[in-house]
Amino acid sequence: MSSRTPLFIIIFLVLLLGAAFYFLREQGNSKYNWMESSWRKKDGYSEKSEQPYGTYIAHRLLKSYLPGKKLVDLEKNVADELPSESLSSGDNYIFIGEALFLDSLSTDRLLKFVAAGNTAFISSKTIPFDLMNYIYYTECEDAPWGDYGSFQDSLSSLSLRTPALPDSTVEVFFAIQNQRHRYNFHYIADEVFCDSLPQHPLGYIKGDWVNFAEFPHGKGRFLLHTTPLAFSNFTLLRPETRPYAEGVWSHLSEGTIYWDAASRIPESVGRRRNGSWYNRNLEEEHPLTYILKQKSLAWAWYLLAGTAGLWLLFRAKRRQRIIPVLKPNENSSYEFISTIAHLHFREKNYQSLSEQGMKLFLSHLRDRYGLTAHIHEKTMLPQTDDAFFKKLAVLSEVPEAQARQIFDQYAAVVRFQPTEQMMVDLHLSMEAFLKQAK
């Protein structure tokens, strides 16, 4: 046997164990991802995803929907990739996802694209306020824009107003592993559609609420749809749902389709960023927005900021003065008190020690409970009454008799020549009160 044979056996066993681990891991993983959220570009409503809530089928259908017309994916930025208003009209912009984020440049480009005579189809659960500020600039009376409304249900029906397709009504639902779950369906408020303005409903959800509407803008129009779930792979795999999708897409223009694959964000982020004007929680765009969106400028900015930070760090380290070591402050108050107390005790001045103790006790009652008892200059006794002791008992939760005992003991110390035991008893009574008091 060769000396290398054991090594080959070990390598073979390691590879075998690795293959077994990989096989078991893949077997344990679910074949399908039932997440609808768009935290990653390849997740919910991605045109490249064949998972239940991807839009691979919708993307393929639209690719062949208009014969002789092409479908172009916008993968980086709407402002850079969507044609400007100078091009011919009749093209389409399509977005399908939970929420849409457009910066100021992208919003301006999309508005000019539509105003030139093109169509923008946006199917999302929330719509950017910065965009609606222009689409719904002239508002219906007492109907300011406040984003889409919502309701919860496990099943909902979608229907179209035009064109009149009797077979286009469809039931949609959200499922996880083919089991229905309650879901937030969204709609556009009826108050937004008034006779004085040109926007009008095109489709309904649950029979009465508008979920598909046309908003004219310039020479073109925005088609707003509030149920992107209808265009997911899970929904379109059911044959009965195809007529509804075809009915919706029949409102598109007969031109090139520009599919927005760059602007998808999760619904939660979209609602914070694209909420109404009174609920803008995230920071607005800042002067560095354009710089950070350009790769070369962004790296130049990071390099400049890093260099400046390093320069400040090393410059401060070299020029900083040496901090001298200071001696800690000494508190001699306790030593003074101990010395005075020892002096009084050695001289057997029990009355003076008792008076100082009572003054400290009364000071504590004043600071803690707001009760004041002044000491009479001649009798040296605290001026108290029944109301004082009742308040003290209530506030401190110590029996009234126990408090009165302290003042009685102090009165005996003041009136008579106190002994050491009388002073100790007074001190113990005060200490017991303070430990028991709340």
Lowest mean pLDDT among 121-125, 167-171, 339-343, 372-376: 339-343
Count of other CB atoms within 10 angstroms of residue 242: 17
Per residue in 321-332, pLDDT tens? 667 777 777 655
- The pLDDT, as a whole number, for residue 280 is 41
User: 119 falls in which pLDDT band (50, 70, 90)?
Assistant: very high
Q: Which of 246, 251, 186 is nearest to 215 (CA)?
A: 251
Kindly state the average pLDDT of the residues 358-381. 82
DSSP class of 140: P
What is the percent of the chain with per-residue pLDDT over 70, rounded to a whole number? 80
Does the pLDDT at position 333 exceed 60? no
> What are the sequence ranges of the domains in the chain?
56-297, 333-436
Q: What is the DSSP string of 222-259?
A: EEEES-GGGGSHHHHTSGGGHHHHHHHHTTS-SS-EEE
Is the pTM here over 0.85, yes or no? no
What is the percent of the chain with per-residue pLDDT over 90, rounded to a whole number? 28
Strands (E), 193-341: 200-205, 209-217, 220-225, 257-260, 264-265
Q: How far is CA 260 from CA 32, 97, 323, 408, in A?
A: 24, 10, 60, 89
Does the pLDDT at position 95 exceed 70? yes
Q: What is the C-alpha to C-alpha distance for residues 174 and 71, in angstroms, rounded to an integer?
A: 28
Kindly state the average pLDDT of the residues 162-184. 80
Does the pLDDT at position 287 exceed 90? no
Per residue in 305-324, pLDDT tens? 888 888 877 776 666 666 77
Per residue in 204-230, pLDDT tens? 998 889 999 999 999 999 999 999 999
Token duo for residue 422: 């009388």
- The pLDDT, as a whole number, for residue 121 is 96
Higher pLDDT: 235 or 275? It is 235
Lowest mean pLDDT among 82-86, 147-151, 261-265: 82-86
- The pLDDT, as a whole number, for residue 209 is 93
Q: Which of 411, 412, 404, 408 is nearest to 433 (CA)?
A: 404
Q: What is the C-alpha to C-alpha distance for residues 331 and 397, in angstroms, rounded to an integer?
A: 35
Kindly state the average pLDDT of the residues 253-259. 91
